[in-house]
Amino acid sequence: MTVLKHNSGNIGGINPVQYIFWEDVAAYSVDLTTLAGSITLKSDKKWKYLYATPETIQLEVKEEDTPAGIKYTCQLKMLIPKDRAEVEIALRDLNNRNLIFKILDKNGVCRFFGSMDAPMKKLGKLLKPNSAEGFNGWEVVFTAEFSAPAAYGESSGTPFIP
């Protein structure tokens, strides 16, 4: 396969981050030849949003060669502003839960991170700086290891720009 030059705009950056709990998924499928993925939720479930400070959402996926084959390590990191009770309660509900993320970038590309076999897990830490100009809130990191790249999902092609 040949990788050709990209001719359209490449804005970069992530817009909304949505998540669903592993147990709320009715069906999850991925075609490994095309990386096309599909997630069907149980009838009474819907995707939930995670808000982060604009321009602080970072997604990093590393490939590593192992004796069992290529391993993909994913880390999604975001800063959720202001230390407040409602944030802490919402984040606490994500502790020790198996998560799947639907991430749409500003180019309109939708991808699923996490799967039924390898869900994402949350880690967090509260950051309270010693200066008023510093960030005050939660740094939340979600991680997982996969045996295949993240699947691409259906996208309207229209990026969400707040």
Q: How much of the chain, in percent, has pLDDT values that exceed 70?
A: 86
Which residues, 6+ apart, have CB-to-CB distance to 116 below 8 Å?
Answer: 22, 25, 28
Give yes or no for residue 157 having a pLDDT over 70: no
Most confident of 7-16, 42-51, 81-90: 42-51
Report pLDDT for 4. 63
Report pLDDT for 60. 95
Residues 94-130: tens digit of each pLDDT:
999 999 999 988 888 899 999 999 999 999 998 887 7
Query: Alpha-carbon distance 28 to 22, whole Å?
Result: 10
Report pLDDT for 48. 94
Helix, strand, coil % in the chain, rounded to nearest 5: 5, 50, 45
Q: Which residue has the tokens 């982060």?
A: 52
Query: Alpha-carbon distance 53 to 85, whole Å?
Result: 17
Report pLDDT for 6. 63
Q: Any idea which of 35-44, 118-127, 134-143 has the lowest mean pLDDT? A: 134-143
